[in-house]
Chains A and B, each alone.
Chain A
């Protein structure tokens, strides 16, 4: 059997707690001072890649698309156990541009399994697995909470409204993973130290025309009634009245 190449795609995103602002003219975002982290869902993708390698052999390649600073998360992936890491140095791409670059790299290394987090917490769009899969002409399964591989046959479970779907597929395949699929390991200090000196491959980006543009940004205006009451019997009665008569939701 050929050695399985598992590509795990990870992104470098502002911490959830980061303050995100909009420039005065609404044309751009103000991310100044935001702390950047490994996208939380991508930890599950890295861990799943390592677990599948433990079961089936092969190698794990970690990839990110972004600025030089994003190398930090590739070091995390290497410390967790990825065999190699690559960065496509490109910024300002739209989602399609990122997907096109991931697909080109997956093709170049002949990846048989591409693993991603179900969403990146900056744009929350859940689209990367499907887009990369379609570009590669292979199937994709998103929001996966269980992944079993035997030979080239795959059985997966994915979360849907009110339950889950069981799917069957064959490799090559793109999978986005969900919290609960595994428990990501913490890299140990010696591995963290070793990862610091491992080479990171730099890949030339593929030029792609953007398909969508963010033309304006705004901070959502909170139009909340904000009627905060106490806990007296009269207040509880009033709370129910407000929900019933004013908000008309009960």
Chain B
């Protein structure tokens, strides 16, 4: 019987969607899914998602988050239970933690998976390489394997039948030396939706002509309930903060809708958004490379098109709300 353990990442107490996506994917590939929690939050969601067992990892030294100590703890647990397959969301936390766990388990690490497929007793994964220009099927060569799953590539779906998970606690053996790095503070960009977590991203590029015109992008993002993104050119020019940058030197996003405004679509930008579910673009140059990867496009001036778009989307939202 195959078992997959899924690391449950929480933010402010709530389970992150990336973890629910990983649980859903795990249900397809295992008979038994174990949720690994830090601390003992009890959450009905895990039952709704059909998890068979919930393990709380608890230790006084884990009061402050330490990737070093948590990786050690997870590996100790996996060894004690002989669990050979572990899933993480490929989030900032997961991408730091998963490779460390893999080393402790002498396991293959398969990063940033966008597809999983069982084949001849292996669990292969597909992942993008070279900024998404190529995809590789990766096969673990070791008995154990640790995967991180790119957010929003696997659907999070509750189980048909909720489960009644077994609960247990695991206390790892940790020393101070294994907690030499700790998180002391988390600073949130208050009131701003992050491009990494938004279902809709509206990005502006050089075609916006100046930082003052980003009010249009902000308003369009607001009416869509999305986050504001930016191209490298406008971040380098100081119009927008680096935290909004989408692309190879910024963030890699895969929202349900990526709307590029005044962005030509350099290969470095495409690297950061080409796995979006739906891509739409507004650009006055009909030959802009962004249109080659777009589902929907408008060839036109952003300054004329965006205000009309805002007006129509607002009307649409009002009519569907009433």
> Which residues of A does B touch, CB under 8 Å?
14, 16-22, 29, 40-41, 95-96, 121-127, 129-131, 133-135, 138-143, 158-170, 173, 179-180, 209-220, 222, 224-231, 233, 235-237, 239-240, 242-244, 247, 249-250
Q: How far is the CA of A21 from the CA of B242 in the complex (A)?
A: 31
Q: Is the CB of A131 within 8 A of B181?
A: no
Q: Is the CB of A134 within 8 A of B138?
A: no
Give the one of A124, A216, A229 with max B CB within 10 A: A124
Nearest residue, chain A, Cβ from B286:
A228
Q: Using A134-B71, A243-B278 as known contacts, list a sample of 16 further A-B pairs with CB atoms less than 8 Å apart, ordered by residue number in A.
A: A16-B248, A130-B67, A130-B97, A142-B96, A166-B185, A167-B183, A173-B180, A215-B137, A218-B134, A227-B297, A228-B291, A230-B298, A231-B299, A231-B300, A244-B316, A249-B256
Q: Is the CB of A162 within 8 A of B188?
A: yes
Cβ of A164 to closest chain B Cβ, rounded Å: 5
Which of these binds chain A: B28-36, B38-46, B53-61, B122-130? B122-130
Given contacts A161-B194, A224-B293, A249-B278, contact A235 B298 (CB under 8 A): yes
Inside 8 A of A250's CB, which chain B residues have their CB? 200, 224, 257, 313, 316
Q: Does B10 belong to the interface (CB within 8 Å)?
A: no
Q: How far is the CA of A163 from the CA of B192 in the complex (A)?
A: 9
Cβ of B11 to closest chain A Cβ, rounded Å: 8
Q: How far is the CA of A239 from the CA of B278 in the complex (A)?
A: 13
- Name the one of B67, B132, B200 contacting A140, with C-beta atoms under 8 angstroms: B67
Q: Does B1 belong to the interface (CB within 8 Å)?
A: no
Cβ of A124 to closest chain B Cβ, rounded Å: 7
Q: Is the CB of A213 within 8 A of B187?
A: no
Cβ of B239 to closest chain A Cβ, rounded Å: 15
Q: How far is the CA of A19 from the CA of B102 in the complex (A)?
A: 32
Q: Does B309 belong to the interface (CB within 8 Å)?
A: yes
Q: Does B141 belong to the interface (CB within 8 Å)?
A: yes
Q: Is the CB of B92 within 8 A of A212?
A: no
Q: Is the CB of B67 within 8 A of A160?
A: no
Given contacts A159-B243, A247-B296, A250-B257, contact A211 B139 (CB under 8 A): no
- Name the one of B180, B184, B252 contacting A138, with C-beta atoms under 8 angstroms: B180
Q: Is the CB of A240 within 8 A of B187?
A: no
Given contacts A124-B131, A217-B134, contact A233 B308 (CB under 8 A): yes
Pairs of residues from A and B, 5 with the lowest C-beta to C-beta distance, nearest first:
A231-B300, A134-B103, A139-B181, A162-B194, A169-B181
Interface residues of B in 288-320 (CB under 8 A from A): 291-301, 304-305, 308-309, 312-313, 316
> Which residues of B does A touch, CB under 8 Å?
11, 66-68, 71, 91-93, 95-100, 102-104, 106-112, 124, 127-142, 145, 180-189, 192-194, 196-197, 200, 224, 242-243, 248-250, 252, 256-257, 267-268, 271, 274, 277-280, 286, 291-301, 304-305, 308-309, 312-313, 316
Cβ of B293 to closest chain A Cβ, rounded Å: 6
Q: Is the CB of A214 within 8 A of B271?
A: no
Nearest residue, chain A, Cβ from B140:
A212
Inside 8 A of B286's CB, which chain A residues have their CB? 228
Q: Is the CB of B316 within 8 A of A211?
A: no
Nearest residue, chain A, Cβ from B301:
A231
Q: How far is the CA of A244 from the CA of B296 in the complex (A)?
A: 12
Q: Is the CB of B136 within 8 A of A217?
A: yes
Q: Is the CB of B196 within 8 A of A161?
A: yes
Q: Is the CB of A212 within 8 A of B99?
A: no
Q: How far is the CA of A249 from the CA of B198 in the complex (A)?
A: 12
Q: Is the CB of B183 within 8 A of A229?
A: no
Given contacts A161-B92, A179-B249, contact A229 B100 (CB under 8 A): no
- Name the one of B110, B128, B135, B184 contacting A168, with C-beta atoms under 8 angstroms: B184
Cβ of B13 to closest chain A Cβ, rounded Å: 15
Nearest residue, chain B, Cβ from A225:
B295
Q: Is the CB of B140 within 8 A of A211?
A: yes
Given contacts A141-B181, A212-B140, contact A242 B103 (CB under 8 A): no
Given contacts A212-B139, A213-B141, A214-B137, contact A224 B279 (CB under 8 A): yes
Q: Is the CB of B111 within 8 A of A127?
A: yes
Q: Is the CB of A229 within 8 A of B298?
A: yes
Nearest residue, chain B, Cβ from A233:
B308
Q: How far is the CA of A193 from the CA of B64 in the complex (A)?
A: 49
Nearest residue, chain B, Cβ from A139:
B181
Q: Is the CB of B99 within 8 A of A239?
A: no
16 CB-based A-B contacts, threshold 8 Å: A21-B134, A22-B134, A122-B130, A124-B129, A159-B243, A162-B196, A163-B188, A165-B92, A166-B184, A222-B292, A225-B295, A226-B291, A228-B294, A231-B301, A249-B277, A250-B224
